[in-house]
Structure 1
Amino acid sequence: MKVIKFLTFGLLYLFGHPLWAQKKPNILFCIADDWGKHAGIYGNKVVKTPNFDRLASEGVVFTNAFCGSPSCTPSRATILTGRYPHQNEESGNLWSTLQTKLPNYASILAQNGYHVGLERKGWGPGDFKVGGYEQNPAGKSYKNFDEFLEKRPADSPFCYWFGSQDPHRVYEAGTGKASGMNPADVRVPAYWPDTPEIRNDVLDYYYEVQRFDREVGQFIKKLEEIGELENTLIVVTSDNGMPFPRAKANVYDAGTNLPLVFYWKGKIAAHATNTFMSFVDFAPTFLEVARLPIPKEMSGKSLWPLLINQTQNHRNEVFLERERHANVRRGDRSYPIRAIRTRDFLYIQNLAPKQWPAGDPQPYFAVGAYGDVDPGPTKDVILQDSAKYAYYYRLCFAKRPAEELYDLKKDPEQVNNLAENGNYQSIKKDLSMKLTQWRKETADPRMAGKQPFETYPYYGNSAKTEQMKN
């Protein structure tokens, strides 16, 4: 009798489970461009994100979601391949390519009956044709969601990538304040000076975050209108942190800890989770949701057990990295970083500490001095009076030591480096060993003394000079 009851329960679970529904689910992936963890659900009182907050309150919202690399191209490659940036060859760099030999969840879904497409910014920036793709690796490009749905074969599930270009710079100055936001309400982080220019710069960034949120709301409305909301997994996130000094292109939390929500009406229970997830986990999750095998070449692991509350712990730490962002150093050199982020500490290895982390100070390049930091008022304020703001200049632009260690409970904004503090040496040693072990397990080419990221072509449009090539 016990065996019969067990089998009956198992069959009911199996065939009643949302993944085993007769109809395969749709996947809507909404990704912002340079959006840090700034939303109402995360406690921000200035920026208004009602649509993200609605999904978060009714879905699964993450507080510890981390991109693989704080740079557009490698971050988006990691989402597609389920592999760490250094495993994606050229796509570990900005303005590169992505090889078709690497696994790609969008391609796998397309090969298995899904209608796959994208709007605006998919994988990139870079030249995907060099890697063997005829169209963007995230899918065929469509003008908008309506056109995509019109081309959808009858009864086919869909996977749609909405790649907004908000809140990427350049901003229209004053739009944030003009929209009704108050500069006095901005909380300026510890690594920038508190000036009116910077407060207004943040508001202009918030203005574009709100525009992205409104577009997410339009997708929700459309799914409701066509009766697909209950059969669609909606994911909303960003590729890397905000385009400000010490954020984007840096492995500090401001560059890597991102907003993330999973929503599937009636299929996943609403809850907040503080377990860690890495962007390598997206691809395995989407494949499991589509009831497809996960390629062994993927390094990530599916979030599905976490989403349906079968487990509360997914990861205890995440690993972070970056290679060449823009071509902003003499000889196209990279600024390689490897790091481990746990609940209590961030440990960073700067593998080329003699290089400038934000790019060379000499304006050899079309993007100007310190070109890994996007141009804007906050950057200008710090650089135009670097003597007055020497402390902030050091944090945002100066050369950095080979190791950094931050105690997140005491220093959540990561400005007090404890790598040489005698009280933290055992912690540093333990984190260094874990980081080294991960690099070995994932075949980081730099562990073998190789430096392929220095030689991969840069397909960006920035002008180069002969002096720069030397």
Structure 2
Amino acid sequence: MLTVGLEAGEPMQARYNVVIMMSDDHGREALGCYGNPVVQTPNLDRLADAGIRFDNAFCTSASCAASRSAVLTGLHNHANGTFGHTHSYHHFSSYESVQSLPAMLSEAGYRTGRVGKRHYAPESVYPFDYGMEEREFDRDDVAASESCREFIAEEGPFFLYWCSFNPHRDGRIVASNPHQPNSFGNPESSFAGDQEYVFSEEEVIVPSFLSDTPEVRAELAQYYQSIARLDRGIGRLIQILKEEGKYDNTLIIYMADNGAAFPGSKTTLYDAGMQLALIVKAPLSKRQGEVSEELISWVDITPTILDLTNATPRDVSFHGQSFLPLLQEAPESLGRDMIYASHTFHEITNYYPMRVLRSHQYKFIWNVAYQLPYPFASDLWDSASWKAVRRDQSEYFGARKVADYKQRAQFELYDLENDPDEVVNLASHPEYAEMVEFYSKKLKEFQTETMDPWVHKWEYE
């Protein structure tokens, strides 16, 4: 029996609470505890000090709804049915037969609640007992957290799915700025009970997947401001857990759905888009302030939570595995040497299926529709950062050639130790032919095991 699990016969009131804090388009390059000294994330940094920071954690699809469906089901999106966005005319949704995390925890006696961005469908598959209107608080994360106080204070074990809209882009630009950056949801004046933190364009840190241009810096400053507000909301939620006496008995997970809303990150399965922050504070764990190098996938979240809460149904299986042993006092390896990712759509017009294998050292990408030019998400195409590339006819965006970003090879293979920016494609090099063949075989096996409809593309394309 795991030391942090529920012992047989333990009374219901002693069961552990669960909080998932999910941000929207937050790359790990913009977190203090992941090495950024400029962005203001003191509450997340303190959470990392109180728990475990995972350095090799990956979403399965760098697109909001598809990624979240994997988190809440333990299944890759090609198997749960959420191939892309759920809202508006995109209209993807999970199969009615899917068993989701809130449904399984509810069946096990948990109160379930959510606040903020919904981005799942249908609601019958993802039932929550308590839920605020999706845009009730919009970008005011402090108010969103405060709205959870009554739910947290009630008797009985609970699961809270707290989802911020920050730092996703919005539909506004900062007209007063000559570079016309997106506002990333930043208000013109501070929300009541909160205080905005503004960053200068000179102080931001430009990651290697972006170009150091005035437009990029202007947008990064807005992005940082949105992240700082996200962090303050998280700080208030943690404060409420402590004030209501629930903090010590609660599993707290911080994660993002995908990387930053910039070209080269969001919607791609390069590491900027899929290698994300994961911070976990587990009840009774003595692993505080530690860093894990284990490979973790977003399909692992549901089985881990069900393992901790002793709520795994007998008739369900997952593509992920529980990493609860890693949260114990003694580190224990999962024995995993690779993880997989699956992307098919973003918006309904953004069809570009990719299947990916990622080990500690190598990334292998199969671009199923490689004959097509890579499709842009509408917010990335219209960003000031990308408009500057089009205006200047730039040869490079960040470390990658624009031509290579827009038109991709069928197979991409990168040595991440020697090429962390993923720009030297080794797939066509004769000396890597056996590796390409081996990884292709592993991808086929993964697709077959997970009932991926796109597995047949190996046969006739």
Question: Aligned ranges for residues 67-466 of structure 1 at < 5 Å?
Answer: 67-89=59-81, 91-95=82-86, 96-124=92-120, 127-128=121-122, 132-133=124-125, 137=127, 140-142=130-132, 144-145=144-145, 147-150=147-150, 155-170=155-170, 173=174, 179=197, 181-264=199-282, 266-270=284-288, 271-294=290-313, 295-308=315-328, 309-313=330-334, 315-328=336-349, 334-359=351-376, 371=378, 373=380, 375-387=382-394, 389=396, 392-396=401-405, 398-449=406-457
Q: Secondary structure in 1 aligned to 2:19?
A: strand
The answer on whether the counterparts of 2:153 and 2:244 sit within 8 Å (CA) in structure 1 is no
Q: CA deviation at 1:93?
A: 1.9
User: What is the percent sequence identity of the aligned residues?
Assistant: 30
The answer on whether the counterparts of 2:259 and 2:274 sit within 8 Å (CA) in structure 1 is yes
Q: Which residue of 1 aligns with 2:47?
A: 55
The answer on whether the counterparts of 2:146 and 2:236 sit within 8 Å (CA) in structure 1 is no
Q: Deviations over 1:315-335 (max 9, x none)?
A: 321111211111336xxxx21
The answer on whether the counterparts of 2:62 and 2:268 sit within 8 Å (CA) in structure 1 is yes
Structure 1 residue corresponding to 2:57, chosen from 65, 83, 95: 65
Q: Deviations over 1:154-196 (max 9, x none)?
A: 5311111110000000266467999453434444344433211
* 2:374 maps to amino acid: P
Q: CA deviation at 1:310?
A: 5.0
Q: Deviations over 1:197-236 (max 9, x none)?
A: 1112112111111111111100111111111111111111
* 1:269 maps to amino acid: R
* 1:183 maps to amino acid: E
CA distance in 1, matches of 2:396, 2:269: 22
Structure 1 residues 418 and 311: alpha-carbon distance in aligned structure 2, compared to 1, 3 A threshold: same
Computing the radius of gyration from Cα coordinates, the structure with the larger value is 1
The answer on whether the counterparts of 1:386 and 1:393 sit within 8 Å (CA) in structure 2 is no
CA distance in 2, matches of 1:99, 1:352: 25
The answer on whether the counterparts of 1:28 and 1:161 sit within 8 Å (CA) in structure 2 is yes
Structure 1 residues 17 and 298: alpha-carbon distance in aligned structure 2, compared to 1, 3 A threshold: closer
- If each structure's helix is expressed as a fraction of its own residues, which one has the higher value? 1
Q: Secondary structure in 1 aligned to 2:53?
A: strand
Q: Which runs of 5+ in 2 are unaligned?
A: 87-91, 137-143, 178-182, 187-195
Q: Secondary structure in 1 aligned to 2:380?
A: coil
The answer on whether the counterparts of 1:138 and 1:161 sit within 8 Å (CA) in structure 2 is no
Of stretches 28-37 and 438-447 in structure 1, the one that deviates more from structure 2 is 438-447
The answer on whether the counterparts of 1:320 and 1:340 sit within 8 Å (CA) in structure 2 is yes
CA RMSD of aligned residues (A): 2.7
CA distance in 1, matches of 2:173, 2:224: 12
Q: Which residue of 1 aligns with 2:24?
A: 33
Q: Deviations over 1:126-157 (max 9, x none)?
A: x525xx45xx5566413645554535795311
- Normalised by the length of structure 1, the TM-score is 0.82
Q: Secondary structure in 1 aligned to 2:402?
A: helix
- Normalised by the length of structure 2, the TM-score is 0.83
CA distance in 1, matches of 2:154, 2:40: 37
Q: Secondary structure in 2 aligned to 1:103?
A: coil
* 1:338 maps to amino acid: R
Q: Which residue of 1 aligns with 2:193?
A: none
Q: Deviations over 1:418-448 (max 9, x none)?
A: 2112232222222222222211211211113
CA distance in 1, matches of 2:128, 2:61: 18
* 2:36 maps to amino acid: N
Structure 1 residues 17 and 415: alpha-carbon distance in aligned structure 2, compared to 1, 3 A threshold: closer
Of stretches 247-256 and 383-392 in structure 1, the one that deviates more from structure 2 is 383-392
Structure 1 residues 43 and 28: alpha-carbon distance in aligned structure 2, compared to 1, 3 A threshold: same
* 1:358 maps to amino acid: P
Q: Which runs of 5+ in 1 are unaligned?
A: 1-12, 360-369, 452-470
User: What number of residue pairs does the alignment pair up?
Assistant: 416
Structure 1 residues 379 and 283: alpha-carbon distance in aligned structure 2, compared to 1, 3 A threshold: same
CA distance in 2, matches of 1:449, 1:411: 29
Q: Which residue of 2 aligns with 1:19?
A: 6
CA distance in 2, matches of 1:280, 1:447: 20
Structure 1 residues 388 and 305: alpha-carbon distance in aligned structure 2, compared to 1, 3 A threshold: closer
Q: Which residue of 2 aligns with 1:365?
A: none
